[in-house]
């Protein structure tokens, strides 16, 4: 069989969520695959890039201008949580009304704020969203600038550790999970040789995800090295990450619901289910599974 083609992949390389891609590229893909910083925007602006990963919020944002974008596989699912300060007067989720929460606006974490507040008959408009970064959120909570923070891990855990027994956590896994997906474009997937490589890479990703699930003692050192994260900190947040080795079946349902919120951020009309359906392409996953 001919060698597999080289692949160029971009992602948020500062996040835990991207690391299965790195392990797949370095340990399981028999061709050459590089994983660099970027994500969907780089995939769509650089013709040398074949694959990009980001959360579904970014899929929705970018696919408006680029309807050729395709979600082909789920890389990581992350269960978010809100970490708040009791000293700020928060003992239940509804106590956040009128208070400030720090996150990164227009991201999956910001959407999570709205989803969680709706469980207590409020919305994200009932509190003040303060912009921060993964690095600054713990300090904003610790110094009392905000009453709560939320983001992908490990920033919430760092915040929780900073304020100790003053911390209170709100998490409901049935409300929302971040879905970081692997993307390509219709044009790249239409190239037979590239498609052959991408199918093989998705198969490699399945192998990497199995290692994350079943042999965390092998996966964790790779995450620690890639992110320069403390091993004890990683252990604390590992249970909030999920690697199922599939394209999650409820993705289109989630996209339809979430696009209402994303559309409101930019003042456009939400797309219908039929309009969003082409964004999800399960053909690569099916070909990958058939070859296992």
Per-residue pLDDT of the chain (292 residues; tens, 9 = 90+): 789 999 999 999 999 999 999 999 999 999 999 999 999 999 999 999 999 999 999 999 999 999 999 999 999 999 999 999 999 999 999 999 999 999 999 999 999 999 999 999 999 999 999 999 999 999 999 999 999 999 999 999 999 999 999 999 999 999 999 999 999 999 999 999 999 999 999 999 999 999 999 999 999 999 999 999 999 999 999 999 999 999 999 999 999 999 999 999 989 999 999 999 999 999 999 999 997 7
Q: So what's the pLDDT on residue 291?
A: 74
Instruction: Tell me whether residue 111 is exposed, middle or buried, using C-beta atoms within 10 angstroms of its C-beta: 0 to 12, 13 to 18, 19 or more.
Output: buried
Alpha-carbon span 75 to 86, nearest angstrom: 35
Query: What Rg value do the Cα atoms of the chain yield, rounded?
Result: 19
Q: So what's the pLDDT on residue 46?
A: 97
> From residue 206, how far is each of 24, 229, 292 by CA, in Å?
8, 24, 10
The domains located in the chain, with CATH, are 7-78+178-290 (3.40.190.10), 82-170 (3.40.190.10)
Q: So what's the pLDDT on residue 263?
A: 97
Per-residue exposure over 39-75, b if at least 16 CB sit within 10 Å of its own CB, e if not: bbbbbbeeeebbbbbbbbbbbbbbbeebeebbbbbbb
Q: Could you give the 3-state DSSP secondary structure of residue 36?
A: strand
Q: So what's the pLDDT on residue 2?
A: 84
Angle at 100 between CA 99 and CA 101, to 5 degrees: 130
Q: So what's the pLDDT on residue 292?
A: 74
**Paired strand residues for 53:** 182
The pTM of the full predicted model, rounded to 2 decimals, is 0.95
Beta strands in the chain (DSSP E): 7-11, 33-37, 51-55, 69-78, 82-85, 100-103, 128-131, 148-150, 167-170, 178-185, 241-242
Q: So what's the pLDDT on residue 1?
A: 74
**For residue 76, which of 201, 210, 242, 208 has the smallest C-alpha distance?**
242
Q: So what's the pLDDT on residue 63?
A: 98
3-state helix, strand, coil split of the chain in percent (to 5) is 50, 20, 30
Q: Could you give the 3-state DSSP secondary structure of residue 83?
A: strand
């Amino acid at each position: 069989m001919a060698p597999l083609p080289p692949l160029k992949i971009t992602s948020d390389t500062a996040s835990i969520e991207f690391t299965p891609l790195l392990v797949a590229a370095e340990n399981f893909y028999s061709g050459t695959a590089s994983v660099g910083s970027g994500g969907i925007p780089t995939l769509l602006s650089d013709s040398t890039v074949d694959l990009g990963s980001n959360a579904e919020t970014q899929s929705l944002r970018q696919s408006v201008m680029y309807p050729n974008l395709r979600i082909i596989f789920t890389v990581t699912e992350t269960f978010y949580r809100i970490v708040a300060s009791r000293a700020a007067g928060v003992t239940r989720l509804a106590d956040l009304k009128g208070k400030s929460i720090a996150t990164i606006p227009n991201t999956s974490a910001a959407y999570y704020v709205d989803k969680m507040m709706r469980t207590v008959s409020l919305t994200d408009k009932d509190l003040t969203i303060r912009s921060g970064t993964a690095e600054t959120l713990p300090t904003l909570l610790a110094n009392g600038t905000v009453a709560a923070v939320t983001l992908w891990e490990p920033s919430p855990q760092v915040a929780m550790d900073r304020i100790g027994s003053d911390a209170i956590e709100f998490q409901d896994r049935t409300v929302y999970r971040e879905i970081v997906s692997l993307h390509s474009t219709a044009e790249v997937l239409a190239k037979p040789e590239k498609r052959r490589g991408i199918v093989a890479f998705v198969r490699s990703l399945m192998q990497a995800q199995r290692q994350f699930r079943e042999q965390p003692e092998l996966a964790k050192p790779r995450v620690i090295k890639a992110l320069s994260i403390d091993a004890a900190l990683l252990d604390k947040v590992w249970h909030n990450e999920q690697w199922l080795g599939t394209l999650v079946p409820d993705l289109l349902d989630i996209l339809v619901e979430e696009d209402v919120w994303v559309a409101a951020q930019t003042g456009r009309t939400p797309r219908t289910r039929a309009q969003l359906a082409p964004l999800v392409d399960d053909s690569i996953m099916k070909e990958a599974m058939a070859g296992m």
